Amino acid sequence: MPQTKDTLELARQAQAAAQVLWLRGDRDDALLRAMSALETTLAVAPASAPIGARPAALLRAAQLATMDVTASAERDSLVLPMLRAQRRAAQLIVRALESPSERRARRVRGAVVVWCVVVAGLSFVLYRPHGLSARASAELARSDYFGARRAIDADAQTAWLLPDRTPGTLWIDIVPPRDIRAVRMTQPVPAYPARTTSRVRVRLYRGARAIAERHVSFVPAAAAPRPRRAVPQVDIVREVAIDGRSVTRVEIVVQEWRGSGGGLAEVTLR
């Protein structure tokens, strides 16, 4: 079991490297790391682990795609499914190798988590939450790591990111309603240099009624032409004056971007 855990840790590190490479746009290297992670994981899978045939099928498809120079689209489409398959397979392997006492402890932890979720749900229903909450129309890789809440967590090293070449909307709900004079937006760079937002629309709502709107460009007015492979020239921070009283929701629509896609690291309401 300790040796298996060490092997799974190596696979997890390869999986994390694949995700970073994929976000940076190095899709071929990301595929190779994802293949390594999945192959390493499957190599230590016991017969009792109900992994199924899909991970092995994905691995075979990736191996064939790497030998076909014309299959770039297929290679890109295999990276994320392989990463998800690796994570799931690793979880099933760990469970299959658990001792009876470890299995009982996991079930107790699961019961505690369920109880906490039920209590939290009842608290949400009975007590109206206060502060800011965020949601989005889409998130990169459908992952909470790039979820909407990352845009309001006061950490510029995290970010809400959209899928590649996809517009999207961020909604920030405000309870109780408050007056707003400006909205400050920060780009997801330097943490994610391949993803920059170039144009957004900001709209304030009071209930269901829009009360103010601004169109904002992150591109400097006198931006000079740059080499094709240069880092996109956009402002890192943009603050737009927009007045609204008793605002209940802020809507930010990413309309244009540079690089792989758009997103925002931080949104601050003033």
The CA distances from residue 98 to 37, 90, 94, 114, 171, in Å, are 22, 13, 6, 21, 43
pTM across the whole model? 0.53
Question: How many whole angstroms separate alpha carbon 242 and alpha carbon 213?
Answer: 7
Instruction: With a cut of 90, say whether residue 8 has pLDDT above it.
Output: no
Could you tell me what percent of the chain has a pLDDT over 90? 39
Q: What is the pLDDT of residue 124?
A: 58
What is the dihedral sign for C-alpha 20, 23, 25, 28? positive
Task: Give the mean model confidence (pLDDT) for residues 106-128.
Answer: 76
Q: What angle do CA 151, 26, 267 make, to 5 degrees?
A: 10
20-78: pLDDT as tens digits: 888 888 888 888 999 999 999 888 888 888 888 988 998 888 888 888 878 788 888 88
| Confidence class for position 7, pLDDT limits 50, 70, 90 | confident
Instruction: With a cut of 50, say whether residue 259 has pLDDT above it.
Output: yes
Instruction: With a cut of 80, say whether residue 231 has pLDDT above it.
Output: no
Instruction: Tell me which range, 82-86, 131-135, 249-253, is most confidently predicted by mean pLDDT.
Output: 249-253
| Confidence class for position 1, pLDDT limits 50, 70, 90 | low
- The lowest-confidence range among 144-148, 206-210, 266-270 is 144-148
| Confidence class for position 224, pLDDT limits 50, 70, 90 | very low
Q: What is the pLDDT of residue 203?
A: 97
Instruction: With a cut of 80, say whether residue 125 has pLDDT above it.
Output: no
Question: How many whole angstroms separate alpha carbon 71 and alpha carbon 66?
Answer: 8
63-78: pLDDT as tens digits: 888 888 787 888 888 8
